[in-house]
Amino acid sequence: MKYEDAMRIIEDSKKNSGFRVSFEVRKNGCLRSDHFPEGDEDVIENEEVAWGLARKFSMADMEWPIVNVYVIYAIDFTPVKGYKGRMFNIHPPESK
Protein backbone atom coordinates (compact mmCIF):
# COMPACT_ATOMS: atom_id res chain seq x y z
CA MET A 1 0.00 0.00 0.00
CA LYS A 2 1.25 3.45 -0.82
CA TYR A 3 1.99 5.84 2.04
CA GLU A 4 -0.50 8.36 0.66
CA ASP A 5 -3.26 5.73 0.68
CA ALA A 6 -2.44 4.73 4.26
CA MET A 7 -2.54 8.36 5.43
CA ARG A 8 -5.93 8.87 3.75
CA ILE A 9 -7.30 5.80 5.57
CA ILE A 10 -5.98 7.12 8.90
CA GLU A 11 -7.51 10.57 8.32
CA ASP A 12 -10.84 9.07 7.27
CA SER A 13 -10.99 6.92 10.41
CA LYS A 14 -10.30 9.99 12.57
CA LYS A 15 -13.08 11.94 10.87
CA ASN A 16 -15.50 9.07 11.45
CA SER A 17 -14.73 9.15 15.20
CA GLY A 18 -16.35 12.57 15.65
CA PHE A 19 -15.05 15.85 17.01
CA ARG A 20 -14.63 17.91 20.17
CA VAL A 21 -13.91 21.58 20.83
CA SER A 22 -10.63 22.28 22.63
CA PHE A 23 -9.97 25.52 24.53
CA GLU A 24 -7.94 27.08 27.32
CA VAL A 25 -9.10 29.24 30.22
CA ARG A 26 -6.86 32.17 31.23
CA LYS A 27 -7.03 32.55 34.99
CA ASN A 28 -4.56 34.22 37.35
CA GLY A 29 -1.78 34.21 34.75
CA CYS A 30 -2.17 30.50 33.95
CA LEU A 31 -3.76 28.56 31.10
CA ARG A 32 -5.94 25.52 31.86
CA SER A 33 -6.81 23.23 28.95
CA ASP A 34 -10.26 21.73 28.58
CA HIS A 35 -12.64 20.48 25.89
CA PHE A 36 -16.24 19.61 25.23
CA PRO A 37 -18.11 17.35 25.01
CA GLU A 38 -16.65 15.29 27.86
CA GLY A 39 -15.46 11.73 27.26
CA ASP A 40 -18.68 10.15 28.52
CA GLU A 41 -20.88 12.35 26.28
CA ASP A 42 -21.74 11.90 22.61
CA VAL A 43 -19.18 13.48 20.29
CA ILE A 44 -19.95 16.16 17.71
CA GLU A 45 -20.61 14.25 14.49
CA ASN A 46 -19.74 16.95 11.93
CA GLU A 47 -16.56 19.03 11.73
CA GLU A 48 -18.33 22.17 10.48
CA VAL A 49 -20.87 21.92 13.31
CA ALA A 50 -17.93 21.65 15.73
CA TRP A 51 -16.36 24.81 14.22
CA GLY A 52 -19.67 26.63 14.58
CA LEU A 53 -19.86 25.65 18.24
CA ALA A 54 -16.22 26.69 18.72
CA ARG A 55 -16.99 30.13 17.27
CA LYS A 56 -20.06 30.62 19.47
CA PHE A 57 -18.20 29.39 22.57
CA SER A 58 -15.29 31.75 21.86
CA MET A 59 -17.71 34.72 21.89
CA ALA A 60 -19.55 33.69 25.09
CA ASP A 61 -19.42 35.98 28.10
CA MET A 62 -17.40 34.02 30.65
CA GLU A 63 -15.96 34.86 34.07
CA TRP A 64 -12.44 34.16 32.75
CA PRO A 65 -11.16 34.67 29.19
CA ILE A 66 -11.46 31.66 26.87
CA VAL A 67 -8.53 31.41 24.43
CA ASN A 68 -7.08 29.09 21.79
CA VAL A 69 -10.41 27.60 20.76
CA TYR A 70 -10.24 24.98 17.99
CA VAL A 71 -11.59 21.61 16.86
CA ILE A 72 -9.95 18.27 17.63
CA TYR A 73 -10.58 14.68 16.63
CA ALA A 74 -12.49 12.80 19.33
CA ILE A 75 -10.52 9.59 18.89
CA ASP A 76 -7.07 10.93 19.80
CA PHE A 77 -7.53 14.61 20.75
CA THR A 78 -5.26 15.85 17.95
CA PRO A 79 -6.14 19.07 16.11
CA VAL A 80 -7.98 18.75 12.81
CA LYS A 81 -6.16 19.67 9.62
CA GLY A 82 -5.98 23.43 9.08
CA TYR A 83 -6.94 24.30 12.65
CA LYS A 84 -4.31 27.06 12.98
CA GLY A 85 -5.99 29.13 10.29
CA ARG A 86 -9.41 28.79 11.93
CA MET A 87 -8.52 29.07 15.65
CA PHE A 88 -10.44 31.61 17.75
CA ASN A 89 -9.07 33.93 20.47
CA ILE A 90 -5.42 33.13 19.85
CA HIS A 91 -3.21 33.67 22.90
CA PRO A 92 -0.66 35.03 22.94
CA PRO A 93 -1.74 37.22 20.02
CA GLU A 94 0.35 36.72 16.91
CA SER A 95 2.69 39.60 16.17
CA LYS A 96 2.39 41.24 12.78
pLDDT, tens digit, 9 for 90 and up, residues 18-69: 999 999 999 999 999 999 999 899 999 999 999 999 999 999 999 999 999 9
Give the per-residue pLDDT at 78: 95
Chain CA centroid to CA 51, Å: 8
pLDDT for 14 equals: 80
HSE (CB half, 13 Å, CA atoms) of 33?
Answer: 6
Which residue did the predictor score with more confidence, 28 or 14?
28
**Greater confidence, 13 or 41?**
41
Is residue 8 pLDDT above 90, yes or no?
no
Q: What is the pLDDT of residue 96?
A: 61
Whether residue 35 contacts residue 66, with contact meaning beta carbons closer than 8 Å, is answered with no
pLDDT (0 to 100) of residue 39: 86
Residues in a beta bridge with 67: 24
- Distance in angstroms (rounded) separating the CA atoms of residues 47 and 54: 10
What's the first-to-final CA gap in the chain, in angstroms?
43
pLDDT at residue 93, as a whole number: 83
Closest CA to 91 of 28, 20, 21, 31: 31
